[in-house]
Structure 1
Amino acid sequence: MTDAAEQKMRFLYALRSKGVTDARVLSAMEKIDRGLFVRGLFAERAYEDMPLPISCGQTISQPSVVGLMTQALNVNTRDKVLEVGTGSGYQAAILSLLARRVYTVDRHRRLVREAQELFQQLDLVNITAMTADGSFGLPDQAPFDRIIVTAAAEDPPGPLLAQLKIGGIMVLPVGQSDAVQSLIKVTRTETGFEYEELRPVRFVPLVEGLGSE
């Protein structure tokens, strides 16, 4: 077995052992090479189950957390998905294999530009990436079947809740940025919202406004 094949096998085993069991999610994570999304010093650690630093003071999430969030989102092939916090682009790339259309926004122009280059390289044509203040969502494209937020807010942002379709699901970390955060699954019903707490997590805080680069 080649090193690369063994690395991939260990990577998928780590995901399963952390509770990522959905076959479609595992298949998408097998196809999207995390190594492409980690640059510089940390590239050799791309296949370890750990968060790693990327440009603009942000991080690429731990693969098992990406897998668990994607699994909780329960994306269907006809869904239109909004991702708040493009970061490296890794999460959006995985979602693009599961959904009909992915819109991803980030406050850092540089991250959006670098992610767009990777999406083109991988021929992921159903992703639209743009620089925007994600805490306001994307009203022009709303409503969304699924919304995923990869930065922690104290509460689910009102504009994002409003942009979720009835029957839609949002997955996001909530809590004070320097204390314990919880991964939450929000389902919009005919009468309101249902909240389910999934697990403790650590994410960078959701910041309003645009970044400096």
Structure 2
Amino acid sequence: MAGFSDPHSHHLPAFLLRLREMGVTDVQLLKALEKTDRRLYIPDLAKEEMWEDRDHSIGYGQSAGVLSLVAIVVGALKLQRQDKVLDIGVGCGYQTALLARLSRRVYGVERVRPLTRQAEKNLEKDGILNATLYSGDGHIGWPMQAPFNAIVLTAACETVPPVLFDQLADGGRLVAPMDEGHGEEAITLFSKNGTEISSKSIGRGEFPPLVPGRVSDD
């Protein structure tokens, strides 16, 4: 799914209208977007860039994702206030903040240690108190805190690591970009019902790969 059609617009009302046209209508999510100042999370982001629907560099070869895709991913989880969420690929912490404003508790995993530390500072500045982060391998999730009502991956994989489905509660939802080997990834919503996992595509976008097995300082 393409992002917002006018990448130069920095007007919130126009952006929210476009999100509604794309099917993002959850009132609580739209309020969370309004409340969460991206300038607290993205280095050197100017006020006029606040609602530009494109990625932004956050250092260490990483970027904050296209805003409309973030909204689509978070909206697909249909979070309830009592939910516990696992956020894999925290980056600057912006998506983590949205998840935290919509749920009871968020546990975030980030491979790059300096980004983990920066995201913690960003969340603190934003007054987010219900998010806990650590630097680790997203492939293994966070088994000590499972089960989760929702899990979100912000990095692409060919198959979702089975251990993540094991950490998903019955009735839980998982969103991941699936690498099909030909350009944009298929953003896919998985739902768990007992031992059954169903899936459906909810859009398309470009995402970095899910890197296994190591934690990085750069």
- State the TM-score, normalizing by the size of structure 2: 0.90
Contact 1:109 1:211 in 2 (8 A): yes
Change (3 A) 1:140 1:205: same
- Whether 2:71 is the aligned partner of 1:71: answer no
CA distance in 2, matches of 1:123, 1:42: 21
- Give the CA deviation at 1:201: 1.3
Change (3 A) 1:56 1:176: farther
Structure 1 residue aligned with 2:157? 153
The range that moved more, 43-52 or 57-66, is: 43-52
Tell me how large the CA RMSD over aligned residues is: 1.7
Per-residue CA deviations over 1:183-209 (Å, capped at 9, x if unaligned) read: 000111113101111111110110011
Structure 1 residue aligned with 2:29? 25
CA distance in 2, matches of 1:27, 1:65: 17
Structure 1's unaligned 5+ residue stretches are: 1-5
SS in 2 for 1:140: helix
Structure 2's unaligned 5+ residue stretches are: 1-9
Amino acid of the structure 1 residue aligned with 2:78: N
Which of 143, 146, 153 pairs up with 2:147? Answer: 143
- Whether 2:104 is the aligned partner of 1:97: answer no
Change (3 A) 1:164 1:99: same
- Give the CA deviation at 1:139: 0.6
Contact 1:35 1:47 in 2 (8 A): no
Q: 1:1-213 alignment to 2 at 5 Å?
A: 7-40=11-44, 44-176=48-180, 179-208=183-212, 209-213=214-218
Q: How many residues align?
A: 208
Change (3 A) 1:118 1:65: same
Change (3 A) 1:162 1:91: same
CA distance in 2, matches of 1:19, 1:50: 19
Amino acid of the structure 2 residue aligned with 1:174: M
Amino acid of the structure 1 residue aligned with 2:217: S
CA distance in 1, matches of 2:93, 2:150: 17
- Give the CA deviation at 1:44: 4.6
